Structure 1
Amino acid sequence: MKPDMIFNERYRIIKSLGEGGMANVYLATDLILDRPVAVKVLRVDLRDDQDTIRRFKREALATTELVHPNIVSVYDVGEVDGFQYMVMEYVAGYDLKTYITKQFPIPYQVVIDIMTQILSAVEVAHDHNIIHRDLKPQNILIDEEGNAKITDFGIAVALADHSLTQTNTLLGSVHYLSPEQARGSMATKRSDIYSLGIILYEMLTGKVPFEGETAVSIALKHFQSEVPSVREFDPSIPQSLENIVLQATCKVPQDRFQSAEEMSIALSKSLSQKDAEKWHPEVLVSGETKVLPVLDKNAAEASNTTKEPEVTADKKKKMSRRKKWTVGVIMVALLMLIVGGVVVATSSPKEVKVPDLSGMTISEAKSSLADKNLKLGKVTRTNSETVSSGDIINSAPKKNETIREENKVDVIVSKGKSKITVENYVGSTYSDVKSTLEKDGFTVEKETQHSDSVTENEIMEQDISAGDKVVPSDTVITLTVSSGPEMFTLRDLSGYTTKSVQDYATEIGARLSISEAYSNSVEKGQVVKQSPTAGSNMSKGGSLSVTISKGKKETTDEFTRTITVPFKSIVTESTSSSDKDKEESSDDSSSSSSSSSSSESKTDENVIEVYIEDKTHNIDTLYERKTITKDTEFKLSFIVDSGKSGKYKILRDDKVIAENGNVTKN
């Protein structure tokens, strides 16, 4: 694959990271999650090699079962255009082999820290009954922070699997191979412990313990020669640390550490044990010696007493040697015939019944089949609504069917329940989506949320992202649905003033309209009624109408009073009264003279002014002015509140000639 190529419509290839015997690895960018990843693709020339494909799939299966910070994570597994691929965590750094070359000598505490991380990861794998089988520095990555991560579970097998050693071929790196693997025996958890001991040896010395011209010669050394002492290479290495190498690389698996955890605990204490003695394995006596049967004693004696012709001493020696040789050949041939017969008799395939594999995992099935001397055949995977993912649904031949030993049994393995892709339901109507999802088998839960912008019953959010694949019958999907604008209960505004109503409308965000009306029961200036009524539900931005009291609407009496104002003639004299008195004291002559000289004037008009007081007039304000020359009627119109009275006053030439302060309708 070339740089910038888009693989599987998701991964942009950046560069090649390396080429292996089974697959090529590339650095790529995950275009969806925007992160660097390592894409491992099966080599072109191996795409039709079923053994390699099985091995590649085994690695994917083994790794996906393991979640640990010191194991390289697998993000995606699949097949594109016939190519098997895995997408893994990208570890920026280099492998432990390169690390040892660059950093040697490595401080003991750093060695222990790295080995502790590796052991922690191996412990998790062993807890899942997965044996790596190919632990070596090249399969351990060291990131930029110094963290170790195990990768390449390509030949990892479950505990119950048979050995994968093939004729003339040793799988795994021979420099780190356990003695039992080198002999072709089945690998166990303690085989991984042996490889870890060799890795620890290399970290302490900078080299592997055994070298040779061929893989076979190196393998022979693993089960024939003791691992060299690391203290002979560097006497400053603590004896307690060398003891861990010695115990981990013991030829007898039972003498090694029982688990990765036990080895890790020993490592954690190694630098604090100052006076440790050199470790030696316990001496075990096991097994039994089988002795071949000897020829019948009497027959032997009879043979010795058989008469023979006399011969010379040299001839006797030659004949004796020839006889011994002949007897030896016969015995070997006889033994071979016996052994061959036993082998043929015991190796002839027997007929066995296929065990019930339903509900088992692949590892369990292999173990169960091995007990019957059967092998696991083709594995087909399909969805099942009743059988858990990874468990076997059925087998072919079926359980209890009779077949010959060494035959293969095909199995159908459950991929779990069928999954469907969740769609984007935001913006859709809740009732429609709920009906569709429930038909598909989902459990739908509803949450409501107020919104000023989203229409009521429209879906606002979903708790499972669009594009996720889920099992409907096992999934509860929660939809957040708009309940429209937030509603609140209107207060009773009785007794509120205009100002109070305006403040409340501002508080709730209502559009306010105010009108006025008379009320005999509500004081002027207070709310008479409201719409919507008190206790009604209302949303922000709704309309609120109130009517403010104008107070009581009082009734009035309207009536008219006719007042007749008499005309009054007024005489005006030209002399004053004092002059007249003086004249009256004179004699008649003078009086007569005086009278003839005085004169009188008579006024023929009266100026009349009228003032009234009622609802529309004030007593101090002129109501009517009229000049009269005779008696004249004045009509006074009054408007007064019911039960109340009016007033009037009439002036003639500025003098009050009539008034009434209690003018009523009746």
Structure 2
Amino acid sequence: MMEAGYKLGGRYRVIRPVGEGGMANVYLAQDLILNREVAIKVLRLDLQNDPDTIRRFQREELAATELVHPNIVAVYDVGEDNGLQYIVMEYVSGTDLKRYIADHYPISYAEVVRMMTEILAAVQQAHSHGIIHRDLKPQNILVAPSGHLKITDFGIAVALSENSITQTNSMLGSVHYLSPEQARGSIATKQSDIYSLGIILYEMLTGKVPFEGETAVSIALKHFQNEIPSVRKLDPNIPQALENVILRATAKEPAERYASVGAMTADLKTTLSPLRVGEPKFISQISNEETKILPSLSAEQFNATAPVTATADAAKTTAKAAATTAATSLQTQKKRRPRLWPLLVILVVVILAAVGGFIAYDQLQPVAVPNVAGMTQQKAEAALISKQFKVGTATKHSDDQVKAGRVIKTTPAKGSQHKRQTVVKLQISTGQPQYALKDYTDQNYATVAAKLKKAGFKVKQTTVISRNYAADRVVDQSISAGQQVVAKGKKITLTVSVGANGFSLLDMTNWSQASVQEYASSMGFDLKLKYDYSTAVQTGTVMSQTPKAGTAVPHDAKVTVVLSRGGQDTN
């Protein structure tokens, strides 16, 4: 473990460790030349002494530097420092997909499709450069705070491809996503990556991996002996089209999987479409034929014959035994066919009729419109599609209670029963209603103020002496005309004219009553006197005034002055 402050390769200063893996330790470091944060993976110490591993490690990572894609973690540099092999990569803050699934499950189907599409785009880019990942798993997929995904560790997996899963517990995480051919020891191909992608999609939809076991070997055995469990048994709302992507990607035989990642992407993108409702379940054609009767292997037989690398001779022997058994089975079936086939035909017709009738009956049964109020439009549409409704045109309305961009209600209403494929329209909130301010210049203040208060504004008045505007007319407004604002609780100040003959009220503090009365008489304003106790202000002098000093008022203004009575006598 490298200490903080250590300078790797004379250029990268280690800040802190950020993770440990089966193959490498990861550190956050500062690139002292380009002044940026980077992630550095240092190959595990027990692998540093293997020349073949080091050579493959360097060769594959140098090839990975050619991969430039927004969904692939960029590899900046590969180097060695005092015998330590390291890779310098783009630093992505956030978490890995494994933790993201644990923290956010269940994830909406639409979001799963979006995230999976980004993963597929990255793998497609690598495949187009002839690079196979070989170790695709959620731990190698980073989720940035923005929600975008980036795949890491292109190339590093091949450096360990010759290490048996029985040799280290570090492979226990990877074996959950290992293709059957890799588990047998065959060379990984693009279809092997596609198998791993299918398992990742399975986990994103269910929150767990399809096969568990106490050892890597027991899990590997399940990958090529057991069928992938149905995700729709765990969540019946998952569209059959979406499950079919998993089933095809994880077919036991590579030939039955998608021909390319691009083909898988094209299929995935339409899985939530109403046009694919009622799609039949994908059934492997190869696994249903006679070759499916391959004898099962125990964990002991698996370890004895192929730790993960089954030999070519063993494979041929197994295939020969399977072919012999299949031929015997086929001959037996042919002998019995004249007596059994009419019954079988009748039985199949009855079953198909029953299944067809059930499906037709099920399709005619009404379905309750789900409650999608408060959801984003994307999540609401996915929820409706999952219930086999069609999504109609969305309309927008202001709403005080519902956040902008969220669903207010549906038409038909939530909970109402309707046939499948019924069109459901969404009403989307634009947030609180906004008020379009007009130009109130030269309008009567009282009229304007009443209108704005009714809309929800808090109106404040200031006055000014003006030769251009008559008394009580609006001269200016604090919010310009044409602006649209949420009126509720919004403050607006209107500047109002007191006319050309107005004046600024003097500060009468500490004036005597006689002086105040003389001032009122000379200026012509309506004076109102009030009295209050005060130990701070001399008896008979002004304590306060309304309006306050400096306020522009008309000559006939109403002015209130409070005079001191002196200290209150408590006796």
TM range (shorter): 0.3 to 0.5
Higher relative contact order (CA 8 A, sep 6+): 2
**What TM-score comes out, normalization by structure 1 length?**
0.41
The structure with the greater share of residues assigned to helix is: 2
**What TM-score comes out, normalization by structure 2 length?**
0.48
